[in-house]
Amino acid sequence: MDYGVSSSVEAYVRNHKGDKPFLAVAGFMDPHDICFWQDNNDNGRTREADFFRIGERLPPLPPNLKYDFDEIWRTSKSFGTVKWQNYIYDYCRMIERLDRNVGRLLRAVRDRGDDTIILFTSDHGDGVGRHSRISKWHPYDESVKVPFIAYGPNYGIRRNVVDTTHLVSGVDIMATVCDYAGIAAPPHNRGMSLRPLLEGRKTEWRTSIFCELQEVGRVIRSPRYKYVMSYEKCPKQDRPQINECYLTQDGKPSMFTADVRPRLRRVEQVMLFDMLNDPWETRNLAADPTSRNVIAEHESMLSNVETSLIAGREFTRS
């Protein structure tokens, strides 16, 4: 399907006439469906063996494939070493296929020689063996951290610059697109325009970022730490309404609202990672007594975000 998507969007870009602005969205599937790569056999070949017949050229395993700490969600896979290598290899091939399709769009934009901007990102990542995971549904960077790449040299977007300092989010895309289009962002937009960052201009920026996970999970990321907690999820069969997925302390299903938030049942386990000194997230520091102040600080950040969400107010800095 991706070849058809890239070809049709390429044709649209190349055949667009006149000065009227356009917005084209190319939604690619790769490498999403790697998550279905689980069966033990394919056409009589076992995935626990050298499935691709490339021997020592199979990719190495990630350093955090094996880990040992208490966590909130335990959904790891028990693949053998070679099966993990086959999985990672196939994922890389999917990325190469995606690169070809993105490249087709890049060439179309460059051939126009105009002020078209390309923004590339994703909805989520994949475990690819890190923390013995595949797919998403976990708070580690391999799942929640996604690429964000911008191309538009005619608009002053810098080339060959990698920014690992600023905390950005998918909610920033709307504000960014509106900024470049010269129109105001929607009134309830919670994002910040990335334009000053893309063009290398100094600007005041947020000091933490929020992520929701599995409806009830919460992640707060600051420049150094990542804090993870979760409310108790109400079993689906016990929900009167589909969005009543939170469980209160008296065992009743509820929506996430201002009056009920203090009464929600919390999962006892929390997680804290020092992303500066432990970027592979191999040590949960939550039980360390010296982490109490850090946890309290991030709990306060989370409370501010949730209060803003409930009130429906815009928040651009947390």
pLDDT digits (tens, 9 = 90+) for 247-283: 999 999 999 988 899 999 999 999 999 999 999 999 9
pLDDT interval class at 109 (50, 70, 90): very high
pLDDT at residue 146 greater than cutoff 50: yes
Handedness of CA 93, 98, 101, 104 (dihedral sign): negative
Same domain, 23 and 144: yes
Same domain, 295 and 218: yes
Rounded to whole angstroms, the Cα distance separating 250 from 265 reads 8
pLDDT at residue 43 greater than cutoff 80: no
Residue 171: inside a domain, yes or no? no
Same domain, 105 and 217: no
Mean pLDDT of 107-112: 92
The per-residue pLDDT for range 220-253, each reduced to its tens digit, is 999 999 999 999 999 999 999 988 999 999 999 9
Rounded to whole angstroms, the Cα distance separating 49 from 54 reads 11
Residue 173: inside a domain, yes or no? no
Same domain, 111 and 231: no
298: containing domain: 209-311
Rounded to whole angstroms, the Cα distance separating 301 from 292 reads 14
Number of domains in the chain: 2
pLDDT at residue 41 greater than cutoff 80: no
Residue 178: inside a domain, yes or no? no
Residue 158: inside a domain, yes or no? yes
Residue 186: inside a domain, yes or no? no
Predicted TM-score (pTM) of the model is 0.91
Same domain, 124 and 230: no
Same domain, 244 and 117: no
pLDDT at residue 315 greater than cutoff 70: no
Residue 181: inside a domain, yes or no? no
Residue 314 has a pLDDT of 41
Residue 70 has a pLDDT of 86
Rounded to whole angstroms, the Cα distance separating 280 from 244 reads 34
Residue 57: inside a domain, yes or no? yes
pLDDT interval class at 74 (50, 70, 90): confident
Residue 193: inside a domain, yes or no? no
Terminal CA-CA length for the chain:
40
Write the CATH number for 252: 3.30.1120.10
Contacts of 18 (CB under 8 A, 6+ apart): none
Same domain, 154 and 213: no
Same domain, 152 and 228: no
Residue 44 has a pLDDT of 75
- pLDDT, mean over the chain: 92
Same domain, 301 and 223: yes
